Amino acid sequence: MMRGAYYTATGNTFLVVDSRERKLSDMEKRLLVLKYVDGRDGAIFVERDFMDYYNCDGNRAAFCGNGARTYVYFIHEKEKRNLVEFSSHAGNVLGKVDDLVSVRMPSPKFLGTFEEEDYSGEIVVVGVPHLVIEGDTDKVDWNALLPLRHLYDANINVFTVKKEGSLRIRTFERGVEGETGACGSGATSVAWVYCRRTGCERVTLQANGGDLTVSFRDGSAYLGGGVKKCSEELELQL
């Protein structure tokens, strides 16, 4: 029997499974996801110094930014550490807990631009691939954008500049196959595109679930926001 709980991170809700003492097989992880995630965004398997992330469809994803921040908060909560370093399928991650829960994100990789019918933008990988489109966030037609999600096998982010250094963002996530409350790697990809254009070093992004901050310093991207536990401890049965 495993123990876990639900956590929320700026609009994303995750099942967090404490797997520090017992490592699960991929099949066991998939079964727990399909049984307990139940409409939430995904599951975080907290292994010893390693984060394994699964989307709600039961498939592993290389990385999740808000999932990584939740991993950091979980270790802070259980082990009383304010600095947490761990690995993921996208590489090493460094996290910190102070007023916000922040992580150093995988370095954004620019793959080029795209143009398909009425839409154009940039392709950026932050652990996982993202399409970044500047547009009207009040009038997003996900049905019209859905072919892009499958054509590029990527998440889709639409953003609007509210004022200098302040953006509105909406994200359609693969694996969830719908719009989510927030997406940390999506926010980082949007911030990278915006800062590349403007030269700024810090951005606040208003997602459906709340505000995220992304800052760039010393050649790295840092994602910050809130995290909280939203359930009692659960006994999870396979």
Which residues carry out catalysis?
Answer: 64, 183
CA 55 to chain centre: 11
Residues 6+ apart with CB under 8 A from 13: 6, 7, 40, 41, 181, 230
Nearest-10 Cα torsion for 22, 43, 94, 228: -110
Instruction: Give residue 117's region: left, alpha or beta (phi > 0; psi -120 to 50).
Output: left
Is residue 157 within 8 Å of 135, Cβ to Cβ?
no
Residue whose entry in the numeric block shows the structure tokens 């992004």? 205
**Is 161 exposed, middle or buried, given 0-12, 13-18 or 19+ CB atoms closer than 10 A?**
middle
Is residue 12 within 8 Å of 183, Cβ to Cβ?
yes
Nearest-10 Cα torsion for 79, 83, 85, 89: 90
Backbone angles phi and psi of 60, in degrees to 5: -70, 145
